[in-house]
A and B are shown apart, each in its own frame.
Chain A
């Protein structure tokens, strides 16, 4: 009889020991804690594509009324606010302002839809138009010494073309705020014999990707 009572007790003890052993070696009794404490890493991937976009913050230059002085071959005026020469237009500070709205640097070229001689009328040899550019926000034009057109501090007036020849206003216009705006000024030479009336010329800026 004594042996019969000892047998179950030994079996129960062995069972308890076995369960505790399994639990301690596998963590079986701590599964919930293990689950809550574990961590994992997921990866969210978003592909940001190239967005090339420019915007004219100020898209009009308006000089108003005026005429070339009598006795002068032509009059000269520009959009920088400088004094006019041999004409009666009021000094005008009204440039184009162009902004890089994309997410890449861009080259910007400029062309006019109509040549000066045709636009103004009068003596073609006395008609001309030029452009000039500068930073409207400091650091906008990223200088490139290899390109003769790129110098944001250069006040040189360049002939405004009507063809698609490469005439840069800036080879690398920065895209990130707050340095992504250029100012483009125009200078006009109006013949004395230009016919009266409203004169409008379209100026197109084209941006292309700049590596």
Chain B
């Protein structure tokens, strides 16, 4: 009987250890990492108008024909 009692104690201890081991392993199981679907979104840039304009200038100086002859 003594032998049987001792074995039972160790078996119980073994089971306890196994359960503890399983819990321990479970707690250290790899955690889900951020994956596709987790994203960094910079947001929309403001749209810079759909029309854009630029203005230039053309200049000339009209001299009198006499002045032009002198300058020429």
**A35 within 8 Å of B by Cβ?**
yes
- Contact indicator A42/B35 (Cβ below 8 Å): yes
- Chain A count of residues within 8 A CB distance of the other chain: 77
- Contact indicator B35/A40 (Cβ below 8 Å): yes
**Which residues of chain A in 25-45 are interfacial with respect to chain B, using CB atoms and an 8 Å cutoff?**
26, 28, 31, 34-35, 38, 40-45
- Contact indicator A199/B42 (Cβ below 8 Å): no
Find the B residue at minimum CB distance from A87. Answer: B68
- Contact indicator A207/B61 (Cβ below 8 Å): no
**A115 within 8 Å of B by Cβ?**
no
Distance A205 CA – B57 CA, assembled complex (angstroms): 11
Residues in chain A near residue B58, CB distance under 8 A: 60-63, 79, 186, 188, 200-201, 203
- Contact indicator A56/B44 (Cβ below 8 Å): no
Q: How large is the interface on B (under 10, 10 to 19, 20 to 34, 35 or more residues)?
A: 35 or more
Distance A49 CA – B28 CA, assembled complex (angstroms): 45
Residues in chain A near residue B35, CB distance under 8 A: 40-42
**Which residues of chain A in 53-82 are interfacial with respect to chain B, using CB atoms and an 8 Å cutoff?**
53-56, 58-70, 77, 79
**Which residues of chain B in 22-72 are interfacial with respect to chain A, using CB atoms and an 8 Å cutoff?**
22, 24-25, 28-30, 33-65, 67-69, 71-72
Residues in chain B near residue A88, CB distance under 8 A: 63, 68-69, 71-72
Given the known A-B contacts A3-B3, A7-B6, A28-B25, are A68 and B65 also in contact in the complex, defined by CB atoms under 8 Å? yes
Given the known A-B contacts A42-B34, A200-B57, A202-B55, are A49 and B45 also in contact in the complex, defined by CB atoms under 8 Å? yes
Given the known A-B contacts A44-B40, A49-B45, are A11 and B59 also in contact in the complex, defined by CB atoms under 8 Å? no
Chain B binding surface, main DSSP class = mixed
**A190 within 8 Å of B by Cβ?**
yes
- Contact indicator B47/A49 (Cβ below 8 Å): yes
- Contact indicator B60/A45 (Cβ below 8 Å): no
**Which residues of chain A in 81-127 are interfacial with respect to chain B, using CB atoms and an 8 Å cutoff?**
88-89, 96, 98, 102, 106, 120
- Contact indicator A200/B59 (Cβ below 8 Å): yes
Distance A56 CA – B68 CA, assembled complex (angstroms): 32
- Contact indicator B51/A207 (Cβ below 8 Å): yes
**A148 within 8 Å of B by Cβ?**
no
Distance A54 CA – B52 CA, assembled complex (angstroms): 6
Chain A to chain B contacts (Cβ below 8 Å), 16 pairs: A4-B2, A19-B17, A31-B30, A40-B34, A49-B45, A53-B48, A53-B52, A60-B59, A62-B58, A65-B63, A66-B63, A68-B65, A89-B60, A201-B58, A202-B55, A206-B52
A-binding residues in B (CB < 8 A): 2-3, 6-7, 10-11, 13-14, 17-18, 21-22, 24-25, 28-30, 33-65, 67-69, 71-72
In the A-B complex, the 7 residue pairs with the smallest Cβ-Cβ separation, listed nearest first, are A67-B68, A11-B10, A63-B60, A28-B25, A3-B3, A59-B56, A40-B33
